[in-house]
Amino acid sequence: MLDRSLNLAPLALAAALLLPAAHAQAADQSRYPDWSGQWDRFVVRGLPGQPSHDQTKPWGPGQQAPLTEEYRKIHEASMADLAAGGIGNFPTVAGRAAGMPYMMMAFGPMEFVVTPDTTYILIGWHDHYRRIFTDGRDWPKEIVPTYAGYSIGRWVDPDAQGRYRVLEFETRGFKGPRAYDETGLPLHVDNQSIFKERMFLDRANPKIIHDEMTTIDHALTRPWTVDKRYVLDPDPQPEWLEFYITENNPHLMIAGEHYYLSADGLLMPAKKDQRPPDLRYFKPAKR
């Protein structure tokens, strides 16, 4: 039973005080762009090979990445290993996360969730999400290394029209190995990469998002800038497929060696004259 002696005035006052705060938050949210929907990789027709870091150029050597001589040779060795049946400098094929910058290839669909404090990029492929903090924080004293890295940034209103249009952010704090593409185009093994990005809607076509990404890495002779683009799916209720690279993946790593699982479920070599793995814990088959 309601206690009529209860003084409801303080509760009413508290509710009244919360209303302006909620209104201010809603008004603040309106300053941010609408990037909702499903975004896919911008495909440049006629380019050979798999998806590339610079979408305007072919993958692998066609990227013309400003690699140091040491890392150019690492890339050449990676492609030679691929030609021989190996996985080269791209261990992601065996089921591990790809990390930055490959995770922004948009090989699978992406979704942007924009809030005042954090922008999330949800990814449906090798990797699953990026989290970009825009709450004004500084870099932490220590960053726990991850494949996606740690991102902080800010929203910018370059036209001074009261609405944010550009997201500027920087990402550090990586672990590896990581590569730009499936030919094993390499980043430095020290994992000291820094990525500076500017994301914004195309002025002429708001169904395109630009991601101007600059890579600073010790495997490069200079910073490398590309304009990655993503296209909005016209379906207002697109299908969100689920992908896990470990599911039905025939590539196996055993003691650091790459093998392949045949269609009938048997282990087979990936390279010519490859030795079998150590079978000391298995009894020899009876003949």
Tokens of 14: 């508290």
At 18, the pLDDT band (50, 70, 90 cuts) reads: low
Q: Residues 75-91: pLDDT tens digits?
A: 999 999 999 988 899 88
At 15, the pLDDT band (50, 70, 90 cuts) reads: low
Q: What is the mean pLDDT of residues 40-56?
A: 85
Pick the more confident residue, 200 or 107: 200
Q: Which of 33-47, 144-158, 201-215 has the lowest mean pLDDT?
A: 33-47
Print the SS3 string covering the chain: CCCCCCCCHHHHHHHHHHHHHHHHHHHHHCCCCCCCCCEEECCCCCCCCCCCCCCCCCCHHHHCCCECHHHHHHHHHHHHHHHCCCCCCCHHHHCCCCCCCHHHHCCCCEEEEECCCEEEEEECCCCCEEEEECCCCCCCCCCCCECCCEEEEEEECCCCCCCCCEEEEEEECECCCCECCCCCCECCCCCCCEEEEEEEECCCCCCEEEEEEEEECCCECCCEEEEEEEEECCCCCCCCCCCCCCCCCCEEEECCEEEEECCCCCEEECCCCCCCCCCCCCCCCCC
Q: Which of 40-49, 156-165, 180-189 has the lowest mean pLDDT?
A: 40-49
The answer as to whether 248 is a domain residue is no
Q: What is the Cα–Cα distance from 172 to 130, expressed in whole angstroms?
A: 12
Expressed as residue numbers, the domain containing 54 is 39-232
Pick the more confident residue, 255 or 48: 255
The answer as to whether 121 is a domain residue is yes
Q: Tally the domains of the chain.
A: 1
Q: Which of 204, 228, 225 is nearest to 39 (CA)?
A: 228
The answer as to whether 28 is a domain residue is no
The answer as to whether 82 is a domain residue is yes
Residue 30, C-beta contacts closer than 8 angstroms, at least 6 positions apart? 163
At 69, the pLDDT band (50, 70, 90 cuts) reads: very high
Tokens of 48: 């050979």
The answer as to whether 184 is a domain residue is yes
The answer as to whether 81 is a domain residue is yes
Alpha-carbon distance values, 160 to 24, 34, 236 (Å): 20, 18, 31
The answer as to whether 9 is a domain residue is no
The answer as to whether 26 is a domain residue is no
